Structure 1
Amino acid sequence: MRTIGFIGLGHMGGPMAANLVKAGHRVLGHDIVPELLAAAVDAGVAAPGSATATAAAADVVITMLPAGRQVLGLYADEGLLAAARPGTLFVDCSTIDVADARAAHAAAVAAGMRALDAPVSGGVVGAEAATLTFMAGGGAAEFAEAEPLLAAMGKKAVHCGGEGAGQAAKICNNMILGISMIAVSEAFVLGESLGLSHQALFDVASTASGQCWALTSNCPVPGPVPGSPANRDYRPGFAAPLMAKDLGLAARAARAGGVHTELGLRAAELYADFAADSGATEDFSGIIRAIRDASQKGGDQA
């Protein structure tokens, strides 16, 4: 069993740290939000009092933060790397820009540490149920060391390649997801206009060539998939602002690489608008309501 430092105990990090506790590890944690830290302590996480104190006592440091600038700032400006013991493994599970992931890896190595980027897929439900998928970038030895810890928090971990490869896999995967959710939502709205019931469309598409995760696991209409957020008034499993963030990262990478991703760029625009408006507190599947509203306005104008 290892001593794990876990920094970032929000909707994802809190349950992940709790699952490490359940697996028998000693988990030290820190978060700048007192309520989140208190909830983690209730789940068995010890609180040394600061991020640097957490890192100083850990064999492995896991971070789960909102953006790359926070990861890089924590590593360097706030002294996380300087506080840790030489050779400590840093595993960043945040979803950040590929360039930031590579910069974080380089900073860790320069400080005498080892590093792995390991963003996740599965949302809050997956974090709570320990069914996340991890996409890891870094050395084979670092992945092998981290893999038992990832297994305590998820159901699958894939070593995608060198530093930054985990982040690359994450943004590519979520570009597929964002595009497919828009396509599924548009199909349901079209079906409504043609008098087709939600259940009928689901029964056909879920067993035909339209089958995809956005349809069969996260269906954007109530009824066909009882566990989908649509049955909870779109309370987030994976929040729309997070999808907007991930699609923005994919769009930035596509533009930087000169890659033609017409649907990816359009999906990023649609989710940015949705997240800034009615979808600010909704699951990303709630974009069906924005599509339905826009369709209604178009019909009224016609």
Structure 2
Amino acid sequence: MRIGWIGLGNMGAPMSGRLVAAGHDVHGFDLSETARAAAAEQGVTLEETVAATVADADVVFTMLPNHDIVKAVLGGEDGVLANAKQGAVVVDSSTIDIDAARELHETTTAAGLRFLDAPVSGGISGAAAGTLTFMVGGDEAVLEDVRAVIDVLAGRIFYTGGAGNGQAAKLTNNMMLGITLAATAEGAVLAERLGLDASTFWEIAKVSSGDSWALRTWYPIKDVVETAAVNRDFQGGFATALLRKDLDLAIAAGGSTSTALPFATAVRQRMDQLIELGLGGQDCSVLVKLVDGELTNDTLDADVTATLSQENTP
């Protein structure tokens, strides 16, 4: 198939590269020269506009930071909806607001195209290995039409139901990730201060009740887990600002469903502190620096304690 790919960053470059390796004709666009270069190394044909990227594409993937950018890329004279061929499938693998995803289903369908909200979990390592988990909302028949393409990128594909349900699953999952990341950072620091060898404790926790994906993949002590961002000074990976955005969307969903989310709110405060300290672009596991006191804020502990001790009714 001919595939248009918009958003060639940490996730988009390896994902689009896997489609090239599988024999698809992949055309890509990104504003970042660094991202474009990374995708070119993967064999992606670079285009100068969104319109050129999606021309004649059977499937268009978008992997972008937020729903405002997704809407801008799809709309407008140079956008996807005005330039993709009728019947093409737009697969948005960004993590965006649930209501925004539902709106995009409507506008895409009205333009004569088809749409799936299909966010992913598994991080950069999963993107490179083709083991991502896809959470797909929309028309199940549309998913079946492009399943073979998504299979190249996925370890698992879950059909979650109607429009927006993929985003609902992703936001809930990422909220849980943020909370378990905070627990992992606190546990890692406590274990070291109690005199435990970091690698030994990690081996214990990963086969015990303290296990989590964050622990196995992101353990924030150097030289324990190869894939952890701490080994590369927290560069790359899942940016603090993006986790903060996802927590914000999850908390908003909690408000709309009268679901109290005090732990998610506490972790969002931690992310806010990191952003205020200029670390929004670093991997979110840099949170460990707040836990171990390398980064300090006089009001942080008081703020978090207050959040957890008060009823948090949306």
Q: How high is the TM-score relative to the length of structure 1?
A: 0.91
Q: Does 1:11 align with 2:37?
A: no
Q: 110-119 vs 210-219, which deviates more?
A: 210-219
Residues 77-226 of structure 1 aligned to structure 2 (within 5 Å): 77=76, 78-226=78-226
The answer as to whether partners of 2:65 and 2:242 remain within 8 angstroms in 1 is no
Which residue in 1 is equivalent to 2:271? 271
Query: Whose helix proportion is higher, 1 or 2?
Result: 1
Shift of 1:195: 3.0
- The root-mean-square deviation of aligned C-alpha atoms, in Å, is 2.0
Is 2:215 the partner of 1:227? no
CA distance in 2, matches of 1:37, 1:165: 31
Distance in 1 between residues matched to 2:37 and 2:121, nearest whole Å: 25
> Which has the higher mean CA deviation after the structures are superposed, 215-224 or 261-270?
215-224
- Paired residues of 2:138 and 2:161 also in contact (CA < 8 A): yes
- Cα gap change, 1:180 to 1:50, in 2 (>3 Å): same
Runs of 4+ in structure 1 off by over 6 angstroms are: 294-298
Match of 1:60 in 2: 59
Cα deviation for residue 219 of structure 1 reads 0.9
CA distance change for structure 1 residues 246 and 185 in 2, over 3 Å: closer, same or farther? same
Q: Distance in 1 between matches of 2:103 and 2:297?
A: 46
Give the letter aligned to residue 28 of structure 1. H
Say if 1:220 and 1:285, in contact at 8 Å, map to a contact too.
yes
Where 2:96 maps in the other structure, the secondary structure is coil
Q: Which consecutive residues of structure 1, in runs of 5 or more, have no partner in the other structure?
A: none
Unaligned runs of 5+ in 2: 299-314
Matches of 2:166 and 2:286 in 1, distance apart?
A: 27
Question: Are the counterparts in 2 of residues 125 and 237 from structure 1 also a CA contact under 8 Å?
Answer: no
Residues matched between the structures, number: 297
Q: In the alignment, does 2:25 pair up with 1:30?
A: no
Identity of aligned residues (%): 39
Q: Any conservation in 2 of the 1:30–1:37 contact (CA below 8 Å)?
A: yes
- Alpha-carbon distance between aligned partners in 1 of 2:210 and 2:46, rounded to the nearest angstrom: 48
C-alpha distance 196-153 of structure 1, shift in aligned 2 (>3 A): same
Deviation (angstroms), 1:217 = 2.0
> How many angstroms apart in 1 are the aligned matches of 2:194 and 2:265?
29
Looking at structure 2, the residues matched to 158 and 258 of structure 1 have their Cα atoms a distance apart, in angstroms, of 26
By how many angstroms is 1:200 displaced? 3.9
